[in-house]
Amino acid sequence: MGSYKMCMCFTRKFKINEVQPPLDIREAFAKFTDGGTLMTADQLLDFLIHFQGETSAKYSDAVEIIQQIMSRRHHIAFTRHALTPEDFQSYLFSDDLNSAIRNQVYHDMTAPLSHYFIYTGHNSYLTGNQLSSECSEVPIEKALKRGVRVIELDIWPNSSKDDVHVLHGRTLTSPVALVKCLKSIKEHAFSTSPYPVVITLEDHLSPYLQAKVAEAKCLEEFPSPEALKYRIILSTKPPKEYLERLEGKTYKDKDLFEEDSWGKELPDTKLELPVDYKSDSELSDQIQDEEDIIDSGRKSCQLGAPQYKRLIAIHAKKSKGGLKESLKVDDVSVRRLSLSEQKLEKARAHHGTALVRFTQRNLLRVYPKGTRFNSSNYNPLIGWMHGAQMVAFNMQGYGRALWLMQGMFRSNGDCGYVKKPDILMQSNRLFDPKIKLPVKKTLKVRVYMGDGWRLDFNPTHFDAYSPPDFYTRVGIAGVPADVKMQKTKIMEDDWTPVWDKEFSFPLTVPELALLRIEVHEYDMSEKDDFGGQTCLPVWELKEGIRAVPLFNRKGEKFRSVKLLLQFKFV
């Protein structure tokens, strides 16, 4: 009997399941409709107030929701004044009508700047890595449109030393004209937020090209974001010539270009504020002319010794006694300190509470270490839990660290300023992140289901032969005692997975906790595929059943992909 080979081919269909609403949703609908088949505006209002905890909801809000769902699902005018169970689920899945967090500014914006975390960029002009990518005004525009409030520019002379370029010095990065960067800032500074934009200048210029810098008295206290609305603020260190003249030294042009070589620790910077910040003086409202910075340097040079404009109101220089001396608080003036991520690690190990005390009145900026050539980032919570206001990030360096940064600044209506929690502002009992505190509250998260991948992804994106096998990871980023990560089971072959799994997160410092959510597609033979992510500030979460949109690796929102979750605090 002759042998033969058999070839077997398997074909699997890409089925789309008709998913019933989860049991909790069906029960909620039945409860608030008294077992009926339609939910009226009165009944929906009852649901909003007593289930979702929206105690300020009005009848008109319920009417508007029904009107929107009728238009979206049925493309009809407002003819039916009630929701079916399917309409009700569609409403719950609408992140604009049923968002998980607040979408407006609600923090007190009248406190000094030192009382806020500020959305801060690092090398904001780079399109990619730190060594060879192009410099451009486009990343600046993108950052500002995402709510970033601190833009960093490294300014250098061009090859003929008669104009100013922006580039990452002593690398192969290609330059961009300073004027282009300033135009981008001028045009987009307040496209998403009215609160002040800080331009951090790393100044490597000769006196002829010197930017606007200052010799001013120190402020006793920082002004507030509210007082600085629609203002652009310069931040830079004093030029070397200015410092040398103060010390009676002879200025040497070549010394200016030899200092601050890339990768070394930079000296502390100074935040430039108008002395009378309520006036309409130069640069306090906006950049009137993109050439202002360059022209000011030219004019001051023509006067002989540079006559620096009175814009710097915060003096910041390192103490000779090292970090311990630098962190001492002056009761009559405020200043700013810059630390690399490595120095922050050392500081928190030996001077943790001193950092917290310092940041109650003064500004602390943290920046990535010089070896992050690929524009990666570090854990921002280390800075935040010690009160650092300006945790500077490479906005082009995608990854989990950047997702945390984006999550933090979804707070307070995406305005780029988040009021620091009271726990960081107590002067009589300084917060120490290393000490484990009692559990203050427990967050319960029920992951019901997800949808939208079939609309946003190609049918074979996750698997060539079958629907995807999704699972969700849910966890907390925060102080060490609160960090935790859990995951659902894998739902095989389903574009609309229903997990219906509850997780519990005891939180000792909920004021500094971020909820991390990631969806992955299980792959037995290779690395699991990425299906979306988001990060939400725990203190912003609204209780009840909520729609949670997911984002791609870059932090860009998917058009359709969402999760349906329930949040409870106990």
Q: What is the pLDDT of residues 385-425, one digit of tens each?
A: 999 999 999 998 889 999 999 999 999 999 999 999 999 99
**Ranges in the chain, pLDDT < 50:** 1-12, 14, 211-216, 239, 241-243, 245-246, 249-291, 293-316
Q: Between the CA of residue 472 and those of 155, 490, 502, what are the distances in Å? A: 44, 8, 12
Q: Are residues 314 and 390 in the same domain?
A: yes
Same domain, 236 and 127: yes
Residue 109 covered by a domain: no
349 and 484 together in one domain: no
Among 398, 424, 450, identify where a domain stops.
424
- Residues 265, 336 share a domain: yes
Contact 204, 169 (CB under 8 A): yes
Of 115, 165, 168, 520, catalytic: 168
Residue that is last in its domain, among 424, 455, 476: 424
325 by DSSP, 3-state: which? Answer: helix
pLDDT for the residue numbered 403: 98
Q: Does 327 share its domain with 372?
A: yes
Residue 374 sits in the same domain as residue 502: no
Q: Which one from 50, 81, 115, 122 is the annotated catalytic residue?
A: 122
Residues 541, 52 contacting (CB under 8 angstroms): no
**Tokens linked to 508:** 């000792």
Query: CA–CA distance from 394 to each of 200, 288, 302, 369 (Å)?
Result: 14, 28, 38, 11
pTM above 0.75, yes or no: yes
Quote the pLDDT of residue 305: 30
Read off the pLDDT of residues 372-384 as tens digits, 9 standing for 90 and up.
999 999 999 999 9
Do residues 158 and 275 both lie within one domain?
yes
User: Could you list the residue range(s) of the whole structural domain that residue 81 is in?
Assistant: 23-92
What's the half-sphere exposure (Cβ side, CA atoms, 13 Å) at 510?
16
Predicted local confidence at residue 525, as pLDDT = 84
Catalytic residue flag (residue 520): no
The Cα 193–Cα 228 span in angstroms is 12
* Number of folded domains that form the chain: 3
| 15, part of any domain | no
pLDDT attached to residue 21: 80
| Residue-level pLDDT at 376 | 94
The CA distance from 209 to 203, in Å, is 10
371 and 450 assigned to the same domain: no
258 and 383, same domain (yes or no): yes
CATH of the domain at 58: 1.10.238.10
From 415, 390, 189, 139, select the one nearest 290 (Cα to Cα). 189
In a domain, 524, yes or no: yes
Domain boundary residue among 390, 424, 458?
A: 424
Q: What is the CATH number of the domain that holds 472?
A: 2.60.40.150
CATH at residue 174: 3.20.20.190
**Which tokens is 146 given?**
């995402």
Look at residue 17 in the predicted model and tell me its pLDDT.
Answer: 55
The residues, ordered by sequence, that sit 6+ positions from 63 with a Cβ below 8 Å of its Cβ are: 41, 81
Within 8 A by CB and 6+ apart from 193, the residues are 147, 149, 414, 415, 416, 417
Same domain for 120 and 85:
no
Q: Is residue 171 in some structural domain?
A: yes
Q: Are residues 279 and 135 in the same domain?
A: yes
Per-residue pLDDT tens over the stretch 527-552: 999 999 999 999 999 999 999 999 99
Instruction: Identify whether residues 162 and 85 lie together within a single domain.
Output: no
Q: What gap in Å lies between CA 45 and CA 48, rounded to an integer? A: 5
For residue 499, is it within any domain? yes
Specify if 122 maps to a domain.
yes
- Distances in Å between the Cα of 200 and the Cα atoms of 384, 514, 551 are 20, 28, 29
In the chain, how many H helices and how many E strands? 14, 21
Determine whether 122 is an active site residue. Answer: yes
pLDDT at 214: 34
Q: Is 280 inside a domain boundary? A: yes
